[in-house]
Amino acid sequence: MVNALNLFSGCGGCSLGLKQAGFSVKLAAEIDAKTRETYCQNLGSDGIWSVDLSEVTPEEILERSRLNPSQLNLIVGGPPCQGFSSAGTKDWGDPRNSLLKKFVEIVIRLKPTWFILENVEGLLTSLEGFFIVEAIARFLEAGYWIRVQKIYMESYGLPQKRKRVL
């Protein structure tokens, strides 16, 4: 079994895709109650965790998943993006940006085989790319190989022109 953790899980779209691809999503972490409710309606309540990820350690996340480190294959997450969204303030000091740093810390400390970080296109350009450069530098120092790709959602049949960064 290929095991995954879904951080900032939202209503479950990523978890659904992971399950369809053969992954076992052991933990889905989401702070927002209404969003968790939708997740549960879509995928059931097994493994959903009501948590503010800024307030827990990576080790607590792993413990909650009931996996040991060697069983953790994938961490996915889309930390809140308002701070570097084109509609946001693009401010490194924006508290919402601290969750990007937390995602990086979680991946580095838990050492999954793979990780996927998903976010808005502004992650590449805010403060001349400062956010993404910082994250990449830390992942490279931890021994990960990195591929950054801009995805055009309309290319995947979605009726929108949103661009996302993986």
Tokens for 130? Answer: 């400062």
CATH number of the domain to which 123 belongs = 3.40.50.150
Tokens of 109: 């400390």
Distance CA(7)–CA(44), nearest Å, equals 16
Closest C-alpha among 10, 1, 8 to residue 115: 8
Q: Are 7 and 77 in contact (CB under 8 A)?
A: yes
Type of residue at 87: A
Q: Does residue 40 carry a catalytic annotation? A: no
* Strands 119-120 and 163-165, sheet pairing: antiparallel
Render pLDDT for 56-108 as a digit per residue (tens, 0 to 9). 999 999 999 999 999 999 999 999 866 665 555 555 566 667 898 899 999 99
Q: Annotated catalytic residue: which of 11, 14, 40, 81?
A: 81
Q: Would the CA dihedral through 53, 58, 64, 66 be positive or negative?
A: positive
pLDDT digits (tens, 9 = 90+) for 118-136: 987 777 777 777 788 888 9
Which carries the bigger pLDDT value, residue 140 or residue 152?
140
- The model's pLDDT over 14-64, given as tens digits with 9 standing for 90+, comes to 999 999 999 999 999 999 999 999 999 999 999 999 999 999 999 999 999
Note the pLDDT of residue 81: 66
3-state helix, strand, coil in the chain (%, to 5): 45, 20, 35
Burial readout 75-110 (b: 16 or more C-beta within 10 A, e: otherwise): bbbbbbbebbbeebebebeeebbbbbbbbbebbbeb
- 96, amino acid identity: R
What does the alpha-carbon distance between residue 36 and residue 23 come to, in Å, rounded to a whole number?
20
Q: How many domains does the chain have?
A: 1
Give φ, ψ of 26 to 5 degrees: -85, -25
Q: Which domain holds residue 101?
A: 2-165
